[in-house]
Structure 1
Amino acid sequence: MAIKKKITNSSINALKPEDKRLNDTEISGFHARISPKGRVTYFLYYRHNGRQQNVKLGTHPEITPAQARDAAKMASASIVQGVDPHENKKELKAQEKLARLTTLQAFIELEFEKWYTAQYPRTGERELKNLRVNFPTLLPMQLRDINASLLEKLRTEMLNQKKSNATINRRFTTLKSVLSRAVEWEVIPSHDLKKLKPLIEDNSRIRYLSFDEEERLRKALTARDIKIKRERDSGNKHRAERGYPLLPNLSARTFADYLEPLVILAMNTGMRRGELFSLRWQNVNLERDFLTIEAANAKSGKARHIPLNQKAKSALTNWRNDCESPLWVFEGKPEQPLKDIKKAWSTVLEEARIKDFRFHDLRHHFASRLVMAGVDLNTTRELLGHGSLDMTLRYSHLAPEHKANAVNLL
């Protein structure tokens, strides 16, 4: 049974397959049909030279109800002028094609993605993948229809799902970047996402290892290394007995794999995980004891040089002799940087009996040790690569036992 109602976003969204048809109350002959599978198509019913005809205006959501209404008005105007809308079908198809090209998904795939991944080679691909996962309902929408009111509702849903403010802010930052680029490239005239203010984040969490935890972590890494080498020796013995080709011998290496040198470097340089993963051997200077974070791989977008202490230098020197990658310091798949260490990291933490400690907290550990050793905050800021001193100031209050020792000097 046909429904008579103004065709809008809400009335189209409320349409059910059993309704079959929605007749618009404002434009004569303008209607939407819904298939048994829920596919909505817009049409204009009209008379021309005494004949009854229907012209297809487009399908939802490739064109919005507002765009379908505009097309219906244009077709009606043509009829008044004595022109059959079917003769203008090429123009209508061109409008529908343009509408498809200005959806969020099409703009990302055809225009934005290539530019964004070139600008941010380390994180761009991952961020766009996350955008598609986090905002599936926005992908088929027209760019001009994505507004602050709609996104505020989505953000409220995320808050109700107990997502952290920091996580939600990161999700919307990429989306705002897409819309801003669409405005700059004159795909849409403007957007109002500036109204969507970032949520206040709690950056007070400072977790670093106690001396006992640090010792347990080192022992767990060593034990893991010994275990991997023994398993390789046992595996090769098994292969040799059966005439199978042997795997590379690990017993002569300092490190069995990437994890221990990676952790040592993180603890002694304060590098972010992404900076470690994207580090190339050409950026490591073992003769002058420093390494370089390239601007493209730095969160601040600025290159920085980090001095290597003896522990970091020794780990890198030994790892360079052990690993087979001429390009990446920490290689994952052949000729590709390492991308994930979750399983190995969580296992070693479990073995070390360390709880509530993320890989990123190794950066906090590095900063806390600097501050407790009396290093000034500005130097700490430069080593961490913070854009401003505000982020570094939180470390000034992170070591109660260190302050207690200072007071006891009195």
Structure 2
Amino acid sequence: MTAMTKTAAQRGLPGARQRSLDHFLASIYLPQARCRKRSWRVDERIARQYLSPTFGRSRLPRITRPAVESWLDGLRAAGLKPSTCNRILAVFKSVCAQAVAWGWLSQSPCQGVRCLRQPLPPARCLDAVDARRVLRALETSSAQEALALRLLLLTGGRKNEILRARWENVCPETRVLLVPLSKSGAARQIALSDPALAVLAAIPRREGSPWLFPGQRPDRPLADIYRFWNALRLRLRLGPVRVHDLRHTFASLLVNAGHSLYEVQRLLGHADPRTTMRYAHLGQGTLVRAGNAVGAL
């Protein structure tokens, strides 16, 4: 037994290998998740709904890889989407990895279990004509929701990055909106174009509130913009376009204007370039222009 393995085993409680998955979840995993993970509530829900009913009473060493694979197939057969199954599996893998680290397991039963294949669907987005219609409609309103939606479309920011933005993080001199904690867990910067800066200049400041878009209580930001967006979407007959699709629209318009996927990746704040690929919706006009460029040579 290596020194590293001894350390892990020593961390386990006496008789840990004889204890159940539910016991490990309640005594080790979930208490640590509450302290260290922003998404701990998701882990808690998945453990309650999907892990405990099948494996909760099982002693950890008795859980096998074939059992995990059969359980995963059963989730899919029950009608869950591959993406949902993979999120559940990711939590189970995290639980088992921690059980190994604490000496409750010698090897994870999830080791080697592959995620289900889930092809990325093409992201929905507005074309240039509809994007202009949306902006013109938003420019006629001084509501906070309209200003926030304009900023979303002009920056490609995520909804929470814009709704939770603070004035202290706006840097007009460097043309940056700082996001201290992004979806990836790291800070990132949102580039501010001339139109985006104009929107920021039009936002009224509420005394005593640090937020660009304050909520009903000054100590909290605007909670949501769904109702405003849904009414606008229906009025403009846009179809089932979500608020998040404004981010897709920003990326798609960039690509169709000839900008590289690397530029799109940087502007959207993607750590993995593969994530950016789903935003690369090249319109037929762009492809024809590209072909003509070769023909002209």
1:403 pairs with 269, 274, 287, which one? 287
> Do residues 373 (structure 1) and 291 (structure 2) align?
no
Distance in 2, Cα, partners of 1:338 & 1:108: 35
- C-alpha displacement at 1:202, in angstroms? 1.4
> Do residues 113 (structure 1) and 30 (structure 2) align?
yes
User: What is the match of residue 81 of structure 2?
Assistant: 164
- Any stretches of 5+ residues in structure 2 without a counterpart? 1-13
Distance in 1, Cα, partners of 2:68 & 2:231: 38
1:210 pairs with 127, 135, 147, which one? 127
- C-alpha displacement at 1:358, in angstroms? 2.9
Distance in 2, Cα, partners of 1:216 & 1:134: 45
User: What is the match of residue 388 of structure 1?
Assistant: 272
TM-score normalised by length of structure 2: 0.75
> Do residues 201 (structure 1) and 150 (structure 2) align?
no
User: What is the match of residue 59 of structure 1?
Assistant: none
- C-alpha displacement at 1:383, in angstroms? 1.6
Moved over 6 A (4+): none
> Do residues 125 (structure 1) and 41 (structure 2) align?
yes
Is contact 1:292-1:304 (8 Å) kept? yes
Is contact 1:349-1:355 (8 Å) kept? yes
- Per mean C-alpha deviation after superposition, the further-off stretch among 396-405 and 375-384 is 396-405
User: What is the match of residue 185 of structure 1?
Assistant: 102
User: What is the match of residue 103 of structure 1?
Assistant: 21
User: What is the match of residue 247 of structure 2?
Assistant: 363
Structure with bigger gyration radius: 1
User: What is the match of residue 266 of structure 1?
Assistant: 152
Give the number of the structure whose residues are more often strand, by fraction.
1
Distance in 2, Cα, partners of 1:142 & 1:330: 49
> Do residues 289 (structure 1) and 205 (structure 2) align?
no
CA separation of 1:167 and 1:282: change in aligned 2, threshold 3 A? farther
> Do residues 305 (structure 1) and 189 (structure 2) align?
yes
User: What is the match of residue 7 of structure 2?
Assistant: none
- Greater relative CO, 1 or 2 (CA 8 Å, sep 6+): 2
Distance in 2, Cα, partners of 1:406 & 1:281: 42
Q: Secondary structure, in 3 states, of the residue corresponding to 2:189?
A: strand
The Cα offsets for residues 228-277 of structure 1, whole Å up to 9 and x where unpaired, read as: xxxxxxxxxxxxxxxxxxxxxxxxxx32x3x3233222222222334345
1:316 pairs with 188, 200, 204, which one? 200
User: What is the match of residue 32 of structure 1?
Assistant: none
- Any stretches of 5+ residues in structure 1 without a counterpart? 1-93, 226-253
The Cα offsets for residues 166-196 of structure 1, whole Å up to 9 and x where unpaired, read as: 2322232123212212221223333221222
TM-score normalised by length of structure 1: 0.57
Is contact 1:143-1:188 (8 Å) kept? no
Distance in 2, Cα, partners of 1:274 & 1:147: 40
- Percent identity between the two aligned chains: 26
Q: Secondary structure, in 3 states, of the residue corresponding to 1:186?
A: coil
Distance in 2, Cα, partners of 1:160 & 1:339: 37
